[in-house]
Amino acid sequence: MVALHSMAHQIQLAIPLVVLSSTGDVNCTIEQDNSGIVAYFFDTTDRGNGASEESGRHLPLFAVKAMSLALICECSDGCPKCLTQLGCPQ
């Protein structure tokens, strides 16, 4: 669950690299139930701005961009700079 949560943060950081939006325009929550673990991305703006929808449509591209951001970080196994998001309540 922690790994998926960190991956969601990395995808959020990659949003400006793929769509015309900022990292603060999309948020994510991680839920676990009997069927497994699910990440929900959602727009933070009132009535939405489409950034989370684009994230879902182009998830492989977001994953590549997120990985490239993590790889250019100077840490070796993850750090607050590449794995966390300021203001995350989880």
Residue 90 belongs to a domain: no
Q: What was the pLDDT predicted at 12?
A: 85
The chain-wide mean pLDDT, for the chain, equals 83
Residue 8's contacts (CB-CB under 8 Å, 6 or more residues apart) are 28, 30, 39, 41
Q: Is the pLDDT of residue 86 over 70?
A: no
Residue 18 identity (one-letter amino acid):
V
Which domain covers residue 41, as residue numbers? 2-83
Residue 89 belongs to a domain: no
Residue 61 belongs to a domain: yes
How many separate domains does the chain show? Answer: 1
Residue 7 belongs to a domain: yes
Residue 37 belongs to a domain: yes
pLDDT digits (tens, 9 = 90+) for 8-41: 888 888 888 888 888 888 888 888 888 888 888 8
| Helical (H) or strand (E) element with 26 | strand 26-33
Residue 44 belongs to a domain: yes
Q: Is the pLDDT of residue 43 over 70?
A: yes
Q: Is the pLDDT of residue 90 over 80?
A: no
